[in-house]
C-alpha cells in the first residue's frame, strides 16, 4: 500500500471510484482528502494510491455497497462533460491506474508478486527484474464527411441509444491512418480518403487512447458489419440524431469543435 501523502490542494483531485462511477459530496462537490480518508476506512474500500506531483489521490470502492447519505455517485462520463480538462485528465488517470493496478499484480514472465517502483509509474519484478508500465490501448475514431453529410452509426456493444462515429482498436503493426481505412471499410463498406488527425483523448474504460480523425468519403455503399453495428447512415451535419455527450472526443468531432 502506498504511503498517504496530503495533496497540496486538499479540496481537489481526490477521487473515489466505484466501477464506472465517481463518488461526490451530496451537493455534487468533489471529495476532499478528509472524505477520502473516511471512505478508505470502510470495509468496501479497495486499492488506494497517491501521486504528490499530480496532487492526486485515488481510492477504489467495491460495487454494490451503500454509501453514507452525505455522498452520492455520478458517472465518470458526466464528470468529463462538466469539468475542466485538467480535472478530467486526473480522473481519467485515476480510473485507468486503479484498473491497471488491479490487473497487474504478478510478473507475467515468472509469476513473482510485483513491487511498486519509486522512480516512475510502474511496477517491477524483484525476481527477474522485468518492469511493467501501465498499458495504453490506441484506438482510432473517425468522422467521415460526404459533402454536408456525416457518417454515423449505432454500435452493438456500447451506448446503443446514440449515433456515434466509427471507432476501433488499432492492430499491431498498423499506422493510425491504415487503421482508419480498415475500420471504416470493415464496419460500413465505405472507402475513405483525405484522412486528417484532429486530436486525442484518454478514455479510461479501461485504458484506451482515442486518436480522432476526419476523412472524406471516396466510394462504396453502406453495408454494416452485423457483429459491430446495429445500423449506419448519412446524416445532415446540422440536424444529427442523438449523439454522444459533451466531454467525449466523439462529441467534439461530430459538432465540428476540433
Q: Rule CB under 5 A: which residues touch Zn ion?
A: 107, 109-110, 112, 125, 127-128, 130
CB nearer Zn ion, residue 125 or residue 141: 125
Please state the closest distance from residue 47 (CB atom) to Zn ion, in A: 21
For strand 166-169 and strand 123-124, is the pairing parallel, antiparallel, or unpaired? unpaired
CB nearer Zn ion, residue 107 or residue 253: 107
CB 179 within 8 A of CB 140: yes
Please state the closest distance from residue 104 (CB atom) to Zn ion, in A: 12
CB nearer Zn ion, residue 56 or residue 114: 114
Rounded distance between C-alpha atoms, residue 179 and residue 177, angstroms:
5
Rounded distance between C-alpha atoms, residue 116 and residue 144, angstroms:
44
Please state the closest distance from residue 45 (CB atom) to Zn ion, in A: 29
Rounded distance between C-alpha atoms, residue 257 and residue 62, angstroms:
37
CB nearer Zn ion, residue 108 or residue 194: 108
Helical (H) or strand (E) element with 181: helix 176-188
- Helix locations, 17-125, DSSP H: 33-40, 76-82, 85-103
Rounded distance between C-alpha atoms, residue 46 and residue 81, angstroms:
27
CB nearer Zn ion, residue 82 or residue 112: 112
Please state the closest distance from residue 103 (CB atom) to Zn ion, in A: 16
CB nearer Zn ion, residue 112 or residue 191: 112
Rounded distance between C-alpha atoms, residue 67 and residue 221, angstroms:
51
CB nearer Zn ion, residue 107 or residue 144: 107
Please state the closest distance from residue 1 (CB atom) to Zn ion, in A: 21
Place of cell 497487474: 104
Which pairs with CB-CB distance under 8 Å and at least 24 residues apart come from 106-110?
Answer: 107/132, 108/132
For strand 14-18 and strand 56-61, is the pairing parallel, antiparallel, or unpaired? parallel
Please state the closest distance from residue 229 (CB atom) to Zn ion, in A: 42
* Nearest alpha-carbon partner for 54 in 21, 93, 16: 93
The grid coordinates listed for 165 are 462515429
The torsion of the CA quartet 157, 160, 166, 171, rounded to 10 degrees, works out to: -10
Please state the closest distance from residue 116 (CB atom) to Zn ion, in A: 15
Amino acid at each position: 500500500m502506498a504511503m498517504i501523502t496530503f495533496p497540496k490542494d486538499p479540496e481537489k483531485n481526490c477521487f473515489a471510484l466505484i466501477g464506472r462511477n465517481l463518488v461526490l459530496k451530496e451537493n455534487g462537490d468533489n471529495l476532499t482528502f478528509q472524505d477520502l480518508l473516511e471512505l478508505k476506512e470502510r470495509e468496501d474500500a479497495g486499492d488506494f494510491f497517491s501521486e504528490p506531483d499530480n496532487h492526486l489521490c485515488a481510492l477504489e470502492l467495491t460495487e454494490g455497497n451503500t454509501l453514507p447519505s452525505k455522498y452520492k455517485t455520478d458517472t465518470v462520463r458526466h464528470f468529463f462533460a462538466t469539468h475542466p480538462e485538467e480535472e478530467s485528465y486526473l480522473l481519467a488517470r485515476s480510473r485507468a491506474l486503479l484498473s491497471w493496478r488491479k490487473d497487474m499484480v504478478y510478473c507475467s514472465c515468472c509469476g513473482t508478486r510485483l513491487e511498486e517502483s519509486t522512480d516512475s509509474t510502474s511496477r517491477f519484478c524483484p525476481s527477474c527484474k522485468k518492469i511493467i508500465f501501465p498499458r495504453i490501448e490506441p484506438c482510432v475514431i473517425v468522422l467521415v464527411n460526404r459533402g454536408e453529410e456525416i457518417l454515423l452509426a449505432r454500435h452493438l456493444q456500447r451506448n446503443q441509444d446514440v449515433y456515434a462515429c466509427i471507432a476501433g482498436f488499432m492492430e499491431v503493426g498498423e499506422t493510425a491512418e491504415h487503421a482508419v481505412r480498415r475500420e471504416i471499410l470493415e464496419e460500413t463498406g465505405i472507402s475513405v480518403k483525405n484522412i486528417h488527425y484532429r486530436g486525442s483523448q484518454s478514455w479510461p474504460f479501461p485504458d484506451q487512447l482515442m486518436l480522432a480523425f476526419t476523412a472524406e468519403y471516396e466510394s462504396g455503399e453502406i453495408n454494416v458489419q452485423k457483429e459491430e453495428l446495429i445500423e449506419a447512415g448519412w446524416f445532415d451535419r446540422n440536424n444529427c440524431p442523438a449523439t454522444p455527450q459533451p466531454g467525449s472526443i466523439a462529441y467534439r468531432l461530430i459538432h465540428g469543435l476540433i
